[in-house]
Chains A and B, each alone.
Chain A
Amino acid sequence: MATLDLTGIYKQFGSVTAVHDVNFQVQDGEFMCILGPSGCGKSTLLRMVAGFEMPTSGDIRIDSESVTALSANRRPTAMVFQKYTLWPHMKVSENIAFGLQLRRLPRAVIEQKVKESLALVSLSGYEDRYPAQLSGGQQQRVALARALVLEPKILLLDEPFSSLDAILRVRLREELRRIQRRLKITAIFVTHDQEEALTLADRIAVMNAGHIEQLAAPSEIYASPSSLFVADFIGAMNLIPGTVSGGRLMLGALPVDAPAGLSDGPVTVAIRPEDLVVLDAPQASAWSMTVEQISDLGYYRRAILEMPGMQSLKIFLPKALEAQERGTLHVYARRYLVYRDGNAPQEVVRGLPVSAA
């Protein structure tokens, strides 16, 4: 039961600005992901919430009370780190009990809580192992148990599964989501893996160069990325430079429908591969392009299409569709976003041409 407020957070390391004017609120019980490329300041932001770094300026509030001046050991937060941080000289049970012992709980209560938290992460019976006797995935589960057993107001996770293999990573994040839902704990999860963010988060904060580019639900981030950076960073996207003159939008030599009221000048058009549909026959509003390359990805195929005077396009092909490399496809952009520097994108949605399949 807790909310987290960040207002005007800056962090300076010497001449490097790691975090630049971050403002957001995490709701009670919300699972927020902070997503961004390496070095964009994700860890720094999380570490400021945990109390390991002091913000250069700004205020951090938990349940409306400022914790900015509190040291890490006084904050009602608990962190799961990217590295394995179980204490090697303590057994699993001692690792989990350590924080409880500091709170001077009776021994029987501690034992009970250790047991419950191990059960929560499906590691009952591992009490007497040493960390060196656990696999990486088990160690991170114990680390999660160690954090949860203290019933923190905010659970912080800094790429906790990034050093695990892909299959385990998926399994553990599903487990984490299940546990978080069950406990209704407010959580912030840092990752640079967009799939992880898209599957886990209630809301995603996309970070770039120290600031938040967009903060929204995964579906919204995917459907209408608020900036070119987000458009490029999340999912597959075709970004095509274009120009507007006299209300007409040209992509190279090809005219496309322009959003209303766009003044003259350069723009960038962003089209998701799945918004490009393949037509049976050439059409005035479709592009006839050469298939450069097809990659079979199992349940669908990804193709790269080319055309003189136009940059290559990524497109997804249904399995049923006949297509060969060097063949020609007629593609039609059903939906796209038009970006101009510093402005919110304008969306264009078009119906299929009448003779389409």
Chain B
Amino acid sequence: MTTLQPASPVVPGFWAGTAASFRAMIRRNGFGLLALIVLILVILGPLYSVVLWAFAERWQYPSLIPQEFGFTFWERTFARADIAEALPFSIILSLVVTLLSAVICLPASYAFARMKFRGRQLLLLSFLATNAFPRFGLYISIAVIFFRLNLIGTVQGVILIQLVNTLLLMIWIPTAAFQGVDKALEEAALDVGASRLRVFMQITLPMVMPALSAALLLTFVNTFYEAQGALLIGLPRVVTMPVLMYSLINSQLIVQYGAIVSLVLWLPSLLLLIVAQRLLRGGYLTAGFGV
């Protein structure tokens, strides 16, 4: 039996009425509203304090905002030798890893998409497996091997370990994209005289470009932020930006360094968002695919 609840009692008076309708709104949308508030607090809260810290000259408890703003810490941050070295290194490293990953993974994902061979499914899933479990076990065994190969503390070692991390993304996204290209479109290009390579470069590749750029960007950003592997394999001689970040946060009492560096580290993410948005809205995409 369900009992019929009387509608919320009509209380005379403006405030009471408003309160009642507010309560009704909460009852209707309560969960969504609550979630939104929590989300804002959780995401924007720390961001807010990081941004403030990055531009704070002096900020003492219990004030809600810094007492003094300025750029002195920016100068000091970039004057530090370790940061001036790690930032360009990290960017170049991420570019190299992304490029290598593309060179290795794109032909592989094309094969996954176009060929039927034994163990195809299993192999595809194996890339997922490396990401489905905590990486640490994998890293430990890789570290043991790298140690024997004298790769610990070398750039090559860091590139290798980061390549492992890119495999899932750079295989799965392009494979799905290649599968979306109708084989008949490639046959039509062969038919007018194009070689296999040309068909791939001029027909297949342009058609998967949106998905591919997304995969490339995600790979770049992921690699740029990757710290676990770089920390384990790279130290003490190879220091990437996120690794440096760890030591800055752990060993420095000056909060501003950490705040400024994390602001800088957000740049690739912002770039990713902007490019992704342009890709989705881009004229060539919509014209070509009738989106």
Contacts and interface: CB of A to CB of B under 8 A. Distances in A.
Interface stretch (B136-144, B155-163, B164-172, B192-200): B192-200
Interface string A12-51: 0000000000000000000000000000000000000011
A72 B185 CA distance: 14
Size class of the contact patch on chain A: 20 to 34
Contacts of A79: 187-188, 191
Given A83-B182, A89-B207, A78 B288 contact: no
A98 B198 CA distance: 11
Given A87-B185, A88-B207, A102 B284 contact: no
Contacts of B202: 98
Interface string B199-239: 00011001100000000000000000000000000000000
B81 interface: no
B257 to A, nearest CB: 47
Interface in A116-139: 130, 132-133
B64 interface: no
B179 to A, nearest CB: 16
Contacts of B189: 87, 98
Nearest to A75: B191
A87 B203 contact: yes
A81 B184 CA distance: 8
Nearest to B209: A89
Contacts of A83: 182, 184
- Among A81, A87, A102, max chain B CB count under 10 A is at A87
Contacts of B198: 102
For the residues of B in contact with A, the DSSP-based class is helix
Contacts of B188: 79, 81, 85, 87, 143, 146
Nearest to A99: B192
Contact of A150 (B184, B192, B195, B288): B192
A143 B189 CA distance: 11
B41 interface: no
Contact of B190 (A72, A90, A103, A133): A72
Given A73-B195, A88-B290, A102-B192, 18 more contacts: A72-B187, A72-B190, A73-B190, A77-B191, A78-B191, A79-B188, A79-B191, A81-B184, A81-B187, A88-B207, A88-B289, A89-B289, A99-B192, A99-B194, A132-B288, A132-B289, A147-B192, A150-B193
Interface of A: 50-52, 71-74, 77-79, 81, 83, 85, 87-90, 98-99, 102-103, 130, 132-133, 143, 146-147, 150
Q: Which 8 residue pairs across A and B have the least CB separation, nearest first?
A: A99-B192, A132-B290, A85-B188, A89-B288, A72-B190, A89-B206, A102-B193, A85-B184
Interface of B: 182, 184-185, 187-195, 198, 202-203, 206-207, 284, 287-290
16 contacts: A72-B187, A72-B191, A73-B190, A74-B193, A81-B184, A81-B187, A81-B188, A85-B185, A87-B203, A87-B207, A88-B290, A98-B189, A99-B194, A102-B194, A146-B188, A146-B192
